[in-house]
Amino acid sequence: MKISIEEIPADEPPEIIIRCHTIDEGIHKIINRIKTLEDMVIGYQGNQIHRVVPKDVYYFEAVDSKVFIYTKSEVYESKQKLYEFEELNNGFYLRTSKSVIMNLKKIKYVSPAFNGRFEACFDNGEKLIISRQYVSELKKRLQI
């Protein structure tokens, strides 16, 4: 694969061009990674495509090979994989189970649950369980 970078004048908007023989899974992965690095994530509701600001996301959840984006009052489906949202890592996101990545800025409080797990309550009242293998990292990140 050849990579070319061209500097352009400051008054021109940046542009990414992908030249390929076929649009395969590898190309889709590259596109999804680029989208993840942007200031927005893409969410789908029916036939509508929405741009969601990452700081508005409460959590990402994988269910039956699909990934969902949860905001305060909306749920969007994503075409990206859950692990790709870990790469958003602006310090706000933490994987809290095999299927969930939470936005730590949206957590109102955490409390101990059964078997070493914790429960997180978001500022919208929604609650999720944090698996015990992720509790130590949560404590470290929340400084508790």
Residues constituting the chain: 144
The residue behind tokens 């699909």 is 66
pLDDT in tens, 113-125: 988 899 999 999 9
- Residue 4 — very low, low, confident or very high, per pLDDT cuts 50/70/90? confident
Please choose, from the candidates 126, 93, 97, the residue with its C-alpha nearest in 3D space to the C-alpha of residue 109.
126
Regarding pTM above 0.85, the answer is no
- If phi > 0 it is left, if psi is from -120 to 50 it is alpha, else beta; for residue 74 that is beta
Lowest mean pLDDT across 11-25, 57-71, 123-137: 11-25
User: Across 71-106, where does the E strand assignment appear?
Assistant: 75-78, 93-97, 100-103
Distance of alpha carbon 68 from alpha carbon 73, whole angstroms: 13
In the predicted model, is pLDDT for residue 71 greater than 90?
yes
**Amino acid letter for position 4:** S
